[in-house]
């Protein structure tokens, strides 16, 4: 998959998902709320800008906007971005160009200048790419952060159900996993700890935590790495 072009079938998959899966992804995960509270408590109204990679229909943008941050988001799905804007409008949250900047595009070529953001976040979005695209996206995240800016990511780990299903196209990356939380994805990458240290090695500091939960009566294991990195 070309990291600078959005594969048509992949784009269609996400467009259809967001258009048909009502009520999905309505609220931010507690790990993101904790990250923002720990690192930016009381600073929301200081004009801080936060970018979300793979914002989808905007649950995290909604939370950040409610807290007073200026927000930006990028996704390959125009449907998802329309839903995100409509949600903010419905709650009378600011959607002018100073407070909200939504772009259809590819993570590996972010359409913002160097040092544009105080924080960049992603929640289970970066994984849906081959490793080359992930590397380029992390380099773009680093570029778009201000000096001292923070990144937060919630990334699927190898312990997740389905990480050994589908077709392996490179270490850790699967095409069409057929079970677990990533079932149906054209591409899914499952990270390990050593790999994360290597991928984020260009940041000044790095913190890696993890959470494991089960679903569907403990039939499904969902393992997430929680990555915090400072430029």
Beta bridge partners of 52: 73, 121
- Rounded to whole angstroms, how far apart are CA atoms 71 and 49? 6
pLDDT of residue 141: 98
- Rounded to whole angstroms, how far apart are CA atoms 20 and 8? 18
pTM, to two decimals: 0.92
Domain that holds residue 164: 8-21+28-230
Count how many domains the chain has: 1
1 in any annotated domain: no
3 in any annotated domain: no
Please write the tens of the pLDDT for every residue from 50-104: 999 999 999 999 999 999 999 999 999 999 999 999 999 999 999 999 999 999 9
Please write the tens of the pLDDT for every residue from 16-28: 666 666 556 789 9
CB atoms closer than 10 angstroms to residue 152: 22
133 in any annotated domain: yes
Please write the tens of the pLDDT for every residue from 169-220: 999 999 999 999 999 899 999 999 999 999 999 999 999 999 999 999 999 9
């Amino acid at each position: 998959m070309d990291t600078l072009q959005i594969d048509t079938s992949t784009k269609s998959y996400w467009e259809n998902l967001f258009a048909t899966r009502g009520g999905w992804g309505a609220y931010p995960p507690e790990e993101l709320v904790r990250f923002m509270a720990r690192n930016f408590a009381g600073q929301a109204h200081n004009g801080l800008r936060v970018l979300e990679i793979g914002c989808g229909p905007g649950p995290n943008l909604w939370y950040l906007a409610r807290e007073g941050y200026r927000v930006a988001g990028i996704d390959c799905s125009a449907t998802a971005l329309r839903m995100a804007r409509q949600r903010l409008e419905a709650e009378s949250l600011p959607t002018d160009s100073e407070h909200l900047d939504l772009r259809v595009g590819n993570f590996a070529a972010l359409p913002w200048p160097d040092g544009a953001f105080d924080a960049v976040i992603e929640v289970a979005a970066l994984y849906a790419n081959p490793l080359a695209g992930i590397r380029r996206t992390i380099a773009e995240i680093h570029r778009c952060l201000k000096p001292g800016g923070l990144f937060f990511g919630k990334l699927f780990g190898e312990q997740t159900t389905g990480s050994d299903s589908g077709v392996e196209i490179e270490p850790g990356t699967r095409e069409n996993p057929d079970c677990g939380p990533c079932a149906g994805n054209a591409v899914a990458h499952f990270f390990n700890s050593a790999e994360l240290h290597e991928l984020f090695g260009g940041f000044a500091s790095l913190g890696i935590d993890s959470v494991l939960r089960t679903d569907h009566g403990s039939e499904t294991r969902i393992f997430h790495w929680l990555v915090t990195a400072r430029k």
